Amino acid sequence: MDDKKEISQPEIDINRYNAPDSPSSDKLEMGLWLLENKKHLRKALIIFLTVISAISWSYTIYGFAYYIAKGMNEDNILAEQLVNTKTIGHEYILALAPQDISFSPVKIFRGNENKYDFVSEIKNQNSKHWATFKYCFYEKGQEVECGENFIFPGETKSLIALAKNFNYLPREASLTITELFWQKINAREISDWNNYSNEHLDFIFDDIVFKPAAASGLSEKLNFNSLNFSATNKTAFNYWEVPLDIFFYNGNSLIGVNQYVLPEFMSKDKRDIKISWPGNLSGVNSVKIIPNLNIFKDNIYIKYEGGVGEEK
């Protein structure tokens, strides 16, 4: 009895089939491996997708449950806060903008013969802004005098027009301010405005003596008021000129105004000033002298290249 011999399959040598234009042996081996393991790969892919799907659904269910438990209440609170929040609107912007200059009705004082002085007090209510502007005095709609001026933060000052000729008593005077240009104090450059202004405007006016025309003795034929005072520049700055506004009071009532300019007023300098002007201003019992000097303008200062006395 012949024994049955098991016939084994010969191993396939893929390299034998490498024709010039056929795929490489590596690619053939990869393809054969994929065919042999197709079922296992499909099963692994199904398992991977099942795990990803389970994780995604678990996260979705958790998020939905959390929103129902807490998120809805948090959304309601947020919506209420948005409704009650104050937005930056027109009123807020206006609150940040500088407030307009306020000014008083024009006062008129009679000087010599048909000459009249006009004065109006203006006020800057802003603590961090100063302004430059143009102004005009009018009488019955007719221009009396126009000029340019400035006002510092929190300052109250007067605009003055002197010795304007009228053949009648002006009673309908008015003031207009135009081309108002606001500038904010730079806190990095000027941290304390009050201290800065005091350092630049530290002038002392004393020994003030006013004499009306009747007591001045300047002339028997003409009426001349006289004013004597001393002015001291206690600042560390030299000025080309220092304009002065002069106010005459009877008690608390303003009854007259005048102006004067101190030329080349040097640091630590003291001067005795004597001025006179036509008119007969009576009833004066106090005098105020206020410098009208724009300390922000660079060209008001006498500068030096080196030591004292070496003027530019």
**10-residue stretch averages of pLDDT, the chain, 312 residues long:** 54 56 67 73 82 83 75 70 57 67 95 92 96 97 97 97 95 96 95 96 97 70 88 97 98 96 97 93 96 97 64 42
**Which residues neighbour 161 within 8 Å (Cβ) at sequence distance 6 or greater?**
117, 118, 119, 137, 144, 145, 147
The structural architecture, per CATH, of the domain 202-300 is Sandwich (2.60)
- Which helix (DSSP H) or strand (DSSP E) does residue 60 occupy? helix 38-66
Which amino acid is residue 132, in one-letter code? T
CA angle 175, 179, 183 (to 5 degrees): 115
**Euclidean distance between CA atoms 272 and 210, whole angstroms:** 14
Give residue 216's pLDDT: 58
CB-based burial of residue 19 (10 Å sphere; 0-12 exposed, 13-18 middle, 19+ buried)? exposed
Tell me the pTM: 0.68
Q: CB of 224 within 8 A of CB of 259?
A: no
159 beta partners: 120
Give residue 68's pLDDT: 76
Give residue 133's pLDDT: 97
Distance of CA 108 to the CA centre of its chain: 36
Give residue 223's pLDDT: 82
Domain residue limits, the chain: 98-184, 202-300
Give residue 37's pLDDT: 75
Give residue 59's pLDDT: 79
Classified as helix, coil or strand, 65 is helix
| Domain 98-184 in this protein, CATH class | mainly beta
Domains 98-184 and 202-300 share a fold: yes
Q: Which residues of 257-273 are buried (b: 16+ CB within 10 A; e: fewer)?
A: bbebebeebeeeeeeeb
